[in-house]
Amino acid sequence: MSLLLNRTSFGNLSNKGNALSHVEAEKLFEEWVLNPRLKLHMKQVAHLMKCWSKEKENLNQEDQWRWEMAGLLHDADWDQWPQLHCKKIIEELEQRNVDPEILHAIASHGPAHFGVEPETKMDKMLYAFDELSGLIHAYSLMRPNGYEGMDLKGVKKRLKEKGFAANVSREDISDACNRAAITTEELIAFIIPRQSQVN
Ligand SMILES: [Fe+2]
């Protein structure tokens, strides 16, 4: 099954800056995503995107929401339409005149799958958070106290264990960190305290 999007341009430039309202985005999220584990993953990635845009990029609230929205909806079609993953949500958001930057971030969150290269910082951070966030969450579930006391060393150890959260691509994680010009350590240290707030 190929998920290649076979295009590199998304949305219309005249829609720059447009996002769904919080209510619209949450409605779409609730209607399209039924699996509670996937929902939590998407909420966690959304929160990380928001935190990064605020703390590291110093963006205003409106722009923070655009980052958060990309995170919240990046896997929206995975649950019910896996064979149309990425294509369906992009087409839906194109119809709703959403900012091309948000669409591009969603389209490039798995370059190996969708054939779209992450270009902007928003693209790169969504790609970077996606896989690593999943591994860290899986780790929290096997710890008696969840995120409490979780440290860099423990996460790095799990990352090295090929059998742990085997579906999480280690290559994607290092590729994403390289593209975003951050170390895996920095990214882990950023994720742990913030992701623990979303459960
Ligand atoms: Fe994801």
Taken in order 103, 15, 52, 31, the sign of the CA dihedral is negative
Distance 93 CA to ligand 1 centre (A): 17
Is the distance from CB of 105 to CB of 176 less than 8 angstroms?
no
The encoded tokens of residue 147 equal 């995120």
CA distance 33 to 30: 6
Distance 89 CA to ligand 1 centre (A): 13
State the distance from the centre of ligand 1 to the C-alpha of 116, rounded, in angstroms: 15
Q: What does pLDDT average to over the chain?
A: 96
**pLDDT per position as a tens digit, 137-196:** 999 999 999 999 999 999 999 999 999 999 899 999 999 999 999 999 999 999 999 999
Q: Which pLDDT score is estimated for 199?
A: 79
Q: What's the CA-to-centroid distance between 42 and ligand 1, angstroms? A: 6
- Ligand 1: centre distance to CA 88 (Å): 15
What's the rounded mean pLDDT across residues 24-31?
98
pLDDT (tens digit per residue) in 49-73: 999 999 999 999 999 999 999 999 9
> Where does residue 102 rank: exposed (0-12), middle (13-18), buried (19+ CB within 10 A)?
buried
Picking from 141, 32, 16, 27, the residue whose alpha carbon sits closest to that of residue 89 is 32
Rounded CA separation 28/112 (Å): 26
Ligand 1 midpoint to CA 131 (Å): 7
Q: Which of 58, 66, 68 is nearest to 19 (CA)?
A: 66
The alpha carbon of 41 and the centre of ligand 1 are apart by a number of angstroms equal to 7
Give the distance (Å) from ligand 1 centre to CA of residue 126. 8
Say if residue 1's pLDDT is above 90.
no
Cβ(29)–Cβ(39) below 8 Å: yes
How much distance in Å is there from the Cα of 72 to the middle of ligand 1?
Answer: 9
Query: How many Å lie between the centroid of ligand 1 and the Cα of residue 73?
Result: 9
CA 132 to ligand 1 centroid distance, Å: 10
How far is Cα 88 from Cα 193, in angstroms, rounded to an integer?
33
Cα of 130 from ligand 1 centre, angstroms: 5
